[in-house]
Structure 1
Amino acid sequence: MASTPRATSRSSKTNGHVSSYPQPEWDDVLPVPRLHFSVASVLVFCLAVLCFVNSYDGDFVFDDSEAIIGNKDLLPETPLQAVFAHDFWGRKLDSKTSHKSYRPLTIMTYRWNYAWADGLHPLGFHVVNIALHGLVSVIFLAVFSVLMSGYQVDQESARPVFASPRASLLCAVLFAVHPIHTESVAGVVGRADLLCALTFLLSFLLYARACLSPSSQVSYRPESFSLVSLLASMCLCVVSTFCKEQGITVIGVCCVFDIIVVCRVDPFQLLPFRKPKKSEENGHNGFNNNHVKSKSDISPWVKGLIMRHLILFVTGASLLITRLRVMGSTTPIFQVHDNPHSFVNGTILKILNYNYLYAINSWLLINPWWLCFDWSMGCIPVITSLTDPRILVDIALWGVFGALVFQCCRGGLTKDRRILITALAVLGVPFLPASNLFFRVGFVIAERILYLSCAGFCMLVVLGARQICIRLHNTTKQLVSSGFYIIIVLFILRSIQRSSEWREEMTLFSSGVKVCPLNAKVHYNIAKLQADNNNKDVAIDKYRQAIRLNPQYDQAMNNLANILKENGVVLEAEQLLQRAVSIRADFAAAWMNLGIVQAELKKNESAEASYLEALRHRKKYPDCYYNLGNLYLDMGRHTDAIRAWLNATQLRPTHMNAWTNTLILLDNLGKYENAILVGKEAMKVMKNEPQLMFNMANIYGKMEKYMESEELFLSAIKIDKHNPKFYLNLGVLYHRWGKNKQAEAAYIQAQKLEPRDPSIAENLQMLHRKMGKLK
């Protein structure tokens, strides 16, 4: 019976260390200097930081507003368990609006940033992101040394060695400076990708280490493995998945690496058109070894391979089941404008659209000068006909991919073929969650998704460069060297320029218009920002342009209607809101705004119906209850108004306007006792709210409880010393109380703050007559 060949019988010692099989100097032909690993690590880290360091003092931009600024899970008062019950954006996972993105460990790092900085200061968030990218790039240097070396092994430690310094350094440099990473590094939301990549790579390195047991003798194929390292690798896989869903794909990369590189099994040998050569029939490239006759004769390396893959399968299945349960056994619901290509009717058209998106993603890796913060809503029009010329792009993609697959199939399982197959796995496997193949995603293209896949692209570039240097003359090596240096310099300059665009929203959004002028969402974001800056005319134009580009853009209609309502163009605002709710019947905010407009037009019954429709779609909607209460007040339905306002305060205890309106109405109705009870409930929540104290003081004054009233007036003035109304009403209190000197001092202070108020002068004159100073 033939035995598995062992390294000790066919290896040659060099430099005191022995690889498990003789290897040529694979990367000597590459035009890159050979550097020590520590020196190379410092170089890669510095280049990675250099490219994106100018974003360190940037603002929170784009998605950061929702994931960071508007996310209550970052606040210290939010219970820690809430982080593990909410999605990435702070919504409950069972909510209809949840995207089901479960990344609690990433949110934990945001909480630490918040705690360290004692607030939402973007500087600390950006610095952590930049440092993480530098660290990931350095770890990639170690990963590339394993992937590009063909898994050469140190005989004494039975661990992978840094066997391809030139190739791994070139891959790591290309990865570190690639502009496609700008969104992941300069956008704080991109930390999910950085943390996922960090733990993804550590998981892979532990798996590579586990494939050979340190206590066993090194063999051509490992006959044993380290269970501890393997389990540690799977634990890191779980951590990576809880940083971002993409982390689970490390299982696929480990699987390919184990089969192709570690065990040298050629899966293409199973294809019907492949006839194994004699060298392959000896068992060096497949499972069909001559000595494998029965179950009892299975080689130790095959048993180890099966055991490792069983652990990979159990881990992957457990993660998927857990993830599905966390999501509530439901998938997220996306609108057509989120990912229109996935809503195309017909299998053929859907395939063409998906492949076109794959081609665009590939093009962004090749040509990262064409970058945009958002690729939805018309940025990439849908292919709706078989005569669309963009189908040629799909054909080109299939041609390139087919050529690469052909190279994977032909010949024996050489080192070049192993690296090529592994590079394709690193390129494609991490991209699978975004491919729309298994489930619909909520975006057309997201540059952050390519963070890990970029590593496979870098491997393909270096592998291709080596082939050019080998097949052509020595002069070509100099040309390739010059080409690489030019590309690296251009990538660095582009990364610096692109990261500067991510420093503030207006610059970012304006750059998006240049790349995707037909993208309605880009114009919408500019309009929203201009509205926040009180540039209403520009905002109106941009909202109108967004609606022209996408006539179904209900959010743009809602926002435009709000601005028009403020400008007094109420009829057009009503029409826009009616269109919005006809497009999306469950658009609660649009229903509420429609009610506000209808109330302003004195269409009270229609306004009430709109408010109730909004509450039907969003039961916990405090602002809607508040506006409904205002409508009931105008209609004279005081009891209903109070009930609506109290509903608002129950849902949002800090809803100051609802508390204030309730107190004022109870005061006007003469229900002072009820008003005091409501005011005390409000002050339990807002102990230092001067307006609340002011209202309560007025009510106590009318009840002739002067001491309680005085105490509240003075407390309010202590907090807000420049409010003339506080001093005026305090003067009225002293005036009624008979404390004339205190009343005079209060009136005089109110007059200093608001000298043009006639009521202050009138009250002061009345007091002076009472005091005998005027006749």
Structure 2
Amino acid sequence: MKGSLLLRTYIFPQGVNAAFDVLLICNVNVYELCQRLIFRKNLDLREMLRTRLLTRLALLGLGGLLMLYARWRIMGTGPPAFTEVDNPASFEENIFIRIVNYNYYYSLNAWLLLCPWWLCFDWSMGCVPLIMSATDWRIVLPLLLWCILIGLMNQALCSPDSQRRRTLTLGLVLLLVPFLPACNIFFRVGFVVAERVLYLSSAGYCLLLAFSLGHCCCHWTKQRKLLCVLVLALLCVYVVRCALRSHQWRSEQSLFFSALSVCPLNAKVHYNVGKNLADRGNATAAVKYYREAVRLHPNYVHAMNNLGNILKEKNELTEAEQLLSKAVSIQPDFAAAWMNLGIVQNSLGKFEEAEQSYWNAIRFRRKYPDCYYNLGRLYADQNRHVDALNAWRNATVLKPNHSLAWNNMVILLDNTGNLGQAELIGREALKLLPNDHTIMFSLANVLGKLQKYKESEGFFLHALRISPNAASCHGNLAVLYHRWGKLELAKRHYELSLKLDPKAPGTRDNYNMLQRKLDQLKRSPKHV
């Protein structure tokens, strides 16, 4: 795709400019010029020099090559790598089958220009089955296309009408030259059909269509009104189709679903529909499309990874492990699948396998903070506290705003009695994440245990301003007030916590304990 982009962007527009200069500005007869070159007749170079045609052509060529070289250096000089699912015909060993399918692709592009009804955001992964034998009826379409092109070329070169020759030649140049980078002749491209490559070619198509209609109107005077009606009807259809397609592009959901009817055999279409559904929270429906993507393309590792993730969340761990194991066996450097496999194995209690999966993920993606975070969780489950802290520290070094890693470090140090170190980590985290209420909550708990009640209260209240409906925060603030001796405030926050979460663990017991203490204070005699 990189080479195709370079040629479309720089070289072939220069060719179109050169053709415009030759045909329209200098009015060169291409057919006569070709005859003189073939039969080595004298060329009138003085006329070309006088009009500075050769100078302009040389400057266009030099400018195009310089831009191509600059872009090539910026993008990198390595060749692009494509897979068989991107362009299956280019990987076919039989050269006859390869050529037939290339020409079939050309006919599909021609049909999309003529009737852009079947449009899809992606045409790979089995969307267009290969022609494998001469008995396939689709082989007629390339033959029909070449008959039409040869007829147009014949008129463009040999017509006695000079105006027709120039118009048809320019139309064919505008139609064919911008499409050359996508035709697999110069290099393999990374797509079967890509509607974007027809943007420039549509100018030539429109010119040829307009010329043909004008020619028909001049020669078919009796049918002129009928032709005008047909042209208006065609324009109306194109306008409606354009409006419909524009509406489909308004959202990912409508774009992906519109492709299902065009390319039902395309695994990537089903994958994108499933991903869109999962992103919108409809995981149950997403499973159906991910399964279909895997069925259509059994080696589709990204679909396996996403399906495995959903099954993991649904606690279908055995199938999730099978899918993710298959994904990493197909693509051993798939770091995300290794990490997800580690999470599943950890949930299944396969700690050694999970640790190895995490380290495989890190080996293939060295800067992987989420994997270090999950590795830390594995170590914490095994009571390997130092290893867990080191893993979470690595996560925060790679991603300083990794809130979960910071928070888990504070909680682990708190639980193991390292309150001073927990305070330092919590304060360090809040310098980077000053509005993270979860870290404020954990730090407030640590400060409360250190009997720094005033600071602890400040962090609890700040966290509640950010997340006022956090039942656990109200409950722990109540515990702080309880210890501090501010019993009425403790009662108030216990009640708020129980209102938000009546089943909060321990809160009901603490509240009952506080009530008994308040009752005792009310019954005890007052001292003057």
TM-score (norm 1): 0.63
**Selected match of 2:209 from 461, 479, 486:** 461
Kindly indicate whether the alpha-carbon contact (under 8 Å) linking 1:246 and 1:430 is maintained by their aligned counterparts in 2: no
**Selected match of 1:617 from 364, 378, 381:** 364
In the alignment, the residues of structure 2 paired with residue 363 and residue 683 of structure 1 have an alpha-carbon distance, to the nearest angstrom, of 60
Q: Secondary structure at the match of 2:222?
A: helix
**1:425 has 2:188 as partner:** no
Structure 1 residues 135-184: Cα deviation after superposition (integer angstroms, max 9, x where no partner): xxxxxxxxxxxxxxxxxxxxxxxxxxxxxxxxxxxxxxxxxxxxxxxxxx
Q: Which residue of 1 aligns with 2:439?
A: 692
Kindly indicate whether the alpha-carbon contact (under 8 Å) linking 1:268 and 1:274 is maintained by their aligned counterparts in 2: no
Q: Which residue of 2 aligns with 1:676?
A: 423
In the alignment, the residues of structure 2 paired with residue 442 and residue 342 of structure 1 have an alpha-carbon distance, to the nearest angstrom, of 9
Cα–Cα, structure 1 residues 551 and 749, in superposed 2: closer, same or farther, change >3 Å? Answer: closer
Kindly indicate whether the alpha-carbon contact (under 8 Å) linking 1:336 and 1:343 is maintained by their aligned counterparts in 2: yes
After TM superposition, list the pairs within 5 Å mapping 1:619-658 onto structure 2: 619-658=366-405
**Selected match of 2:495 from 739, 748, 751:** 748
Q: Secondary structure at the match of 1:252?
A: helix
Cα–Cα, structure 1 residues 585 and 467, in superposed 2: closer, same or farther, change >3 Å? Answer: same
Q: Secondary structure at the match of 1:332?
A: coil
Q: Which has the higher contact order (CA 8 A, sep 6+)?
A: 1
Q: Which residue of 2 aligns with 1:571?
A: 318
Q: Secondary structure at the match of 1:475?
A: coil
**Selected match of 2:244 from 497, 506, 526:** 497
One-letter identity of the residue aligned with 2:25: V
Cα–Cα, structure 1 residues 754 and 101, in superposed 2: closer, same or farther, change >3 Å? Answer: farther
**1:379 has 2:127 as partner:** yes
Cα–Cα, structure 1 residues 413 and 583, in superposed 2: closer, same or farther, change >3 Å? Answer: farther
Q: Secondary structure at the match of 1:445?
A: coil
Query: What's the offset of the Cα at 1:387?
Result: 5.2
**Selected match of 1:254 from 17, 23, 29:** 17
Segments of 5+ residues of structure 1 without an aligned counterpart are 1-98, 104-240, 282-286, 293-297
Cα–Cα, structure 1 residues 680 and 428, in superposed 2: closer, same or farther, change >3 Å? Answer: farther
Q: Which residue of 2 aligns with 1:339?
A: 87
Cα–Cα, structure 1 residues 711 and 741, in superposed 2: closer, same or farther, change >3 Å? Answer: same
Identity, % of aligned positions:
46
After TM superposition, list the pairs within 5 Å mapping 1:159-178 onto structure 2: none
Q: Which residue of 2 aligns with 1:550?
A: 297
**1:318 has 2:66 as partner:** yes
In the alignment, the residues of structure 1 paired with residue 392 and residue 199 of structure 2 have an alpha-carbon distance, to the nearest angstrom, of 49
Q: Which residue of 1 aligns with 2:156?
A: 408
Q: Which residue of 2 aligns with 1:95?
A: none
Q: Which residue of 2 aligns with 1:328?
A: 76
Cα–Cα, structure 1 residues 582 and 392, in superposed 2: closer, same or farther, change >3 Å? Answer: farther
In the alignment, the residues of structure 1 paired with residue 152 and residue 96 of structure 2 have an alpha-carbon distance, to the nearest angstrom, of 24
In the alignment, the residues of structure 1 paired with residue 27 and residue 424 of structure 2 have an alpha-carbon distance, to the nearest angstrom, of 79
Kindly indicate whether the alpha-carbon contact (under 8 Å) linking 1:696 and 1:709 is maintained by their aligned counterparts in 2: yes
Structure 1 residues 13-38: Cα deviation after superposition (integer angstroms, max 9, x where no partner): xxxxxxxxxxxxxxxxxxxxxxxxxx
Kindly indicate whether the alpha-carbon contact (under 8 Å) linking 1:520 and 1:550 is maintained by their aligned counterparts in 2: yes
After TM superposition, list the pairs within 5 Å mapping 1:11-410 onto structure 2: 246=9, 249-269=12-32, 271=34, 288-289=43-44, 292=45, 298-299=46-47, 301=49, 304-385=52-133, 388-410=136-158
**Selected match of 1:713 from 460, 483, 490:** 460
Query: What's the offset of the Cα at 1:735?
Result: 2.2
* Worse-superposed segment, 579-588 or 438-447: 438-447
Q: Which residue of 1 aligns with 2:477?
A: 730
Kindly indicate whether the alpha-carbon contact (under 8 Å) linking 1:765 and 1:774 is maintained by their aligned counterparts in 2: no
Kindly indicate whether the alpha-carbon contact (under 8 Å) linking 1:339 and 1:376 is maintained by their aligned counterparts in 2: yes
Query: What's the offset of the Cα at 1:573?
Result: 1.5
Kindly indicate whether the alpha-carbon contact (under 8 Å) linking 2:10 and 2:67 is maintained by their aligned counterparts in 1: no
In the alignment, the residues of structure 2 paired with residue 539 and residue 758 of structure 1 have an alpha-carbon distance, to the nearest angstrom, of 35
Cα–Cα, structure 1 residues 489 and 729, in superposed 2: closer, same or farther, change >3 Å? Answer: same
Query: What's the offset of the Cα at 1:769?
Result: 4.2
Query: What's the offset of the Cα at 1:488?
Result: 0.9
Kindly indicate whether the alpha-carbon contact (under 8 Å) linking 2:48 and 2:54 is maintained by their aligned counterparts in 1: no
TM-score (norm 2): 0.90
In the alignment, the residues of structure 2 paired with residue 769 and residue 537 of structure 1 have an alpha-carbon distance, to the nearest angstrom, of 49
Q: Which residue of 1 aligns with 2:526?
A: none
* Worse-superposed segment, 525-534 or 587-596: 525-534
Cα–Cα, structure 1 residues 267 and 609, in superposed 2: closer, same or farther, change >3 Å? Answer: farther
Query: What's the offset of the Cα at 1:361?
Result: 0.6
- Number of residue pairs the alignment of both structures matches: 521
In the alignment, the residues of structure 2 paired with residue 579 and residue 430 of structure 1 have an alpha-carbon distance, to the nearest angstrom, of 42
In the alignment, the residues of structure 2 paired with residue 599 and residue 302 of structure 1 have an alpha-carbon distance, to the nearest angstrom, of 80
Query: What's the offset of the Cα at 1:475?
Result: 0.6
